[in-house]
Amino acid sequence: MNDIIKTAQDKFEQIILQQLARVEKMKEDKDFIDYGKLDKIVIGVVGGDGIGPAITQQAHRILEFLLQGEKAEFKAIDGCTIERRAECGKAIPDDVLSELKSCHVILKGPTTTPRAGDKWPNIESANVAMRKELDLFANVRPVKVPSEGIDWTFFRENTEGSYALGSKGIHINDDIAMDFCVTTTEGSERIARAAFEYAKKAGKTKVTCVTKANVIKTTDGKFLNICQQVAKDYPGIELDDWYIDIMTAKLVDPKRRTQFQIFVLPNLYGDILTDEAAEFQGGVGTAGSANIGKKYAMFEAIHGSAPRMVEEGRAKYADPCSIIRASVMLLEHIGYTEKAKKLERALDICMYEEKRLVVTGRDTGATGAQFADYVMDTIKSL
């Protein structure tokens, strides 16, 4: 019995030491990178697995088209495939990680996340690892349905909560498994500030914090408490406090949901709520996602890698809309606001208004390449 406890204690000690070191690192990294001051902006392009390379290639073409003659340089980063990751036994192979770190921003296709029982070793998700390695603490996910009055932006904390140690839980013995949830002052404050700063710039009046602080008292309680502290620095912006269960219900209520503007929430609730939210807009395939840190930023499709589409020879029919939406956010983030607006406008026309080509995921619809051409032609006509 004592052995079991000692082994668990040692593991727990390691975890605490790692988290203490992470907090110190966060304290050191104060300022955001200024893209305006760079001579060139290096954009890494990671295809990922499954349909990833096919859809990422289309977003890449559009970005190259929009950034012709600008100070942007593209860098293809191969090897972030499930086969390579399984072979190295690592969420991100070392050579891929150092390539990523040589870029300023990254455009990333979906990567397969193994789970127990798969044909792959149960390694950590590449998304989660990348967010942690590059300290991409703010996962920003906008969802808009203008006809329904929905205009939401989610600020999901991206490096802590139940994800921080998601692959470092402890099997105490055959009977007991334990996972950990981590909330830090620094980590909560930076995501809360990101949400409030965004609200201020966008002229919004309300930020909604979503937790389960009535039950998960320590970690969620801390998150909520820090959001309340940060809110004091933003007079004129109200902080709303909701629990995740009732919030998932209220998002379905057509009257109440139009009142929400900006959300700030811990990692796991953010993961769940943003999938629900994206569904109102047409599904996760239509939403883009930005992962923002102080030094790096990564922009990705929010759907999975759909290996079955590849097995059935349908990769070229995969829908590139989510990763093109992510590209809008990338352009905006590195300072090309006008180009971002143009791409967003063209995408709205192609997806919702004119719909001259429709991607169905099968040969009944357009290929991703045809759709990307359609988007570029639409940009030219704006």
| CB nearer to Mg ion: pick between 93 and 109 | 109
- Of residues 267-286, which lie at the interface with Mg ion (CB under 5 A)? 271
- Of residues 100-129, which lie at the interface with ligand IPM (CB under 6 A)? 113, 125, 127-128
Task: Fill in the amino acid letter for 38.
Answer: L
Task: Report, in Å, the least distance between residue 290 CB and ligand IPM.
Answer: 11
User: Could you give the 3-state DSSP secondary structure of residue 24?
Assistant: helix
* Backbone φ, ψ for residue 206 (5° rounding): -145, 135
User: Could you give the 3-state DSSP secondary structure of residue 17?
Assistant: helix
Asked if 104 and 45 touch (Cβ cutoff 8 Å), the reply is: no
| CB nearer to Mg ion: pick between 131 and 342 | 131
Judged by CB under 6 A, the number of residues near ligand IPM is 6
Please state, as a whole number, how many other Cβ atoms lie within 10 Å of the Cβ of residue 98.
Answer: 10
Cα distance between residue 325 and residue 319, in whole Å: 11
Task: Report, in Å, the least distance between residue 8 CB and ligand IPM.
Answer: 26
Question: Between vectors from CA 191 to CA 186 and to CA 194, what angle results, nearest 5°?
Answer: 125
Task: Report, in Å, the least distance between residue 337 CB and ligand IPM.
Answer: 25
- Of residues 151-180, which lie at the interface with Mg ion (CB under 5 A)? none
**Binding site partner of 128, from Mg ion, ligand IPM, none, Cβ cut-off 5-8 A by kind:** ligand IPM
- Of residues 186-245, which lie at the interface with Mg ion (CB under 5 A)? none
| CB nearer to ligand IPM: pick between 113 and 281 | 113
- Of residues 282-341, which lie at the interface with ligand IPM (CB under 6 A)? 302
Whole-angstrom Cα Rg for the chain: 21
Asked if 202 and 236 touch (Cβ cutoff 8 Å), the reply is: no
Could you tell me which stretch among 80-88, 226-234, 241-249, 266-274 binds Mg ion (CB under 5 A)? 266-274
Asked if 277 and 154 touch (Cβ cutoff 8 Å), the reply is: yes
| CB nearer to ligand IPM: pick between 50 and 367 | 50
Site string for ligand IPM, 243-282 (x = CB under 6 A): ----------------------------x-----------
Cα distance between residue 247 and residue 276, in whole Å: 11
Task: Report, in Å, the least distance between residue 124 CB and ligand IPM.
Answer: 9
| CB nearer to Mg ion: pick between 99 and 124 | 124
Task: Report, in Å, the least distance between residue 57 CB and ligand IPM.
Answer: 21
Judged by CB under 5 A, the number of residues near Mg ion is 1
Strands 138-145 and 206-211, by their bridges, are: unpaired
Residue 79 neighbours by CB under 8 Å, 6+ apart: 93, 95, 96
246-257: buried (b, 16+ CB within 10 Å) or exposed (e) per residue? ebbeebeeeeeb
Task: Report, in Å, the least distance between residue 302 CB and Mg ion.
Answer: 6
Q: 300 pairs with which residues across the strands?
A: 108, 289
**Binding site partner of 301, from ligand IPM, Mg ion, none, Cβ cut-off 5-8 A by kind:** none
Q: Is 225 left (phi over 0), alpha (psi -120 to 50) or beta?
A: alpha
**Binding site partner of 127, from ligand IPM, Mg ion, none, Cβ cut-off 5-8 A by kind:** ligand IPM
Q: What DSSP character marks residue 320?
A: -
- Of residues 51-110, which lie at the interface with ligand IPM (CB under 6 A)? none
Task: Report, in Å, the least distance between residue 113 CB and ligand IPM.
Answer: 4
Residue 271 vs residues 109, 163, 228, 257: alpha-carbon distances, Å? 17, 10, 22, 18
Q: Which residue is nearest to ligand IPM (CB)?
A: 125
Task: Fill in the amino acid letter for 371.
Answer: F
Task: Report, in Å, the least distance between residue 329 CB and ligand IPM.
Answer: 14
Cα distance between residue 19 and residue 160, in whole Å: 10
| CB nearer to ligand IPM: pick between 41 and 251 | 251
**Binding site partner of 244, from Mg ion, ligand IPM, none, Cβ cut-off 5-8 A by kind:** none
Give the tokens for residue 84: 């390579």
| CB nearer to Mg ion: pick between 77 and 284 | 284
Please state, as a whole number, how many other Cβ atoms lie within 10 Å of the Cβ of residue 83.
Answer: 11
Task: Report, in Å, the least distance between residue 276 CB and Mg ion.
Answer: 10
Residues that bind ligand IPM (CB under 6 A): 113, 125, 127-128, 271, 302
Residues that bind Mg ion (CB under 5 A): 271
